[in-house]
Structure 1
Amino acid sequence: MARHDFDPATVMPDERQAAKERLFDPLLPGPWRGHIAGELLGASNTVLAYGNGTPGEGPRLHVHPYDEIFIIVQGHARFFVGDKVIDAEAGDVVLGPKGVPHRFENLGPGRLQTIDVHLSPRWLQADI
């Protein structure tokens, strides 16, 4: 399907160049595989890789001064976002709005793997 959502002639490139950073080594153990600050790439979003193989485990309750988008790559997760509980699985995307405390946990069975996009050039977080 061809898309034409805008006129390419109206978009002027800035001075940034293509860039590459390594997010994680898939062979390393542990849930936090890595993160790339958007400022390293000259971008406005920061990317994190998270995963664990233990049902019930996940990041502690925390909050950000910007939106966070979770992409579930593998497994099943339960998200607690403010007063909402959201079950998600591979292929789903969940929004954690700025200023709303949130956490998630692996529902199992097996590994949960997410890519978390922070809509900020730096990772800013307050654990609750």
Structure 2
Amino acid sequence: MARKDFDPATIAPDGRPSAQATLFDPEAGGPWRGFVEGAALGGAITVLTYGTDDVGAGPRLHVHPYDETFIVVAGKARFFVGDAVLDAGAGQVVLGPAGVPHRFENLGPGRLQTIDIHHSPTWIQTDLD
């Protein structure tokens, strides 16, 4: 499907060079496999990756002053976002709005793998438990 959402002639490049960073070492252990802050790349978002084989495991309850978007890459997770409880599987996306406490856990069976997009050039977080 071809898309033409805007006229490229109306956007001038801002002069930033392309950039590259390593998000995670595929051989590394542990659930938090890595992150790249947008500031390191000259971008506006920070990207984290989380993965665990342990059913029930997940990040602790926390909050950010910006939105966080979760992409479930593999497995199934239960997200607790404010008063909402959302189950999401591979290929689904969940939004944690700014200022709303949230966490998620692996529903199993098997591995849960997520990519977590922080809508900020730096990772800012307060743990609540």
Task: Please indicate the TM-score interval, normalised by the length of the shorter structure.
Answer: over 0.9
Q: How far apart are residue 89 of structure 1 and its match? A: 0.3
Match of 1:39, SS? helix
Identity of aligned residues (%): 68
1:117 aligns with: 117
How many residue pairs get matched?
A: 128
Which residue in 1 is equivalent to 2:55? Answer: 55
Which residue of the partner structure matches residue 23 of structure 2?
23
Corresponding residue of 1:10: 10
| One-letter amino acid of the counterpart of residue 109, structure 1 | P
How far residue 43 of structure 1 moved from its aligned partner, in angstroms, is: 0.2
Structure 1: gaps (5+ residues): none
Give the alignment's Cα RMSD to 1 decimal: 0.4
What are structure 2's unaligned runs of at least 5 residues? Answer: none
Deviation at 1:90, TM superposition (A): 0.3
> Aligned runs of 1:1-128 on 2, under 5 Å?
1-128=1-128
Residue-by-residue CA offset, 1:60-108 (whole Å, 9 max, x unaligned): 0000000000000000000000000000000000000000000000000
Shift of 1:15: 1.2
Instruction: Please state whether the residue corresponding to 2:122 is helix, strand or coil.
Output: coil
TM-score norm. by structure 1 comes to 0.99
Please list the CA deviations of residues 92-128 of structure 1 after superposition, one character each: whole Å capped at 9, or x if unmatched.
Answer: 0000000000000000000000000000000000000
TM-score by length of structure 2 reads 0.98
SS at match of 2:26: coil
Query: 3-state SS of the aligned residue for 2:85?
Result: strand
| Aligned-partner SS, 2:39 | helix
Structure 2 residue matching 1:48: 3-state secondary structure: strand
Structure 2 counterpart of 1:99, one-letter code: G
- The letter for the 2-side match of 1:44 is A
- Name the CA distance, whole Å, in 2 between partners of 1:70 and 1:43: 18
Letter in 2 for 1:29: G
Distance in 2 between the 1:25 and 1:76 partners? 23
SS at match of 1:122: coil
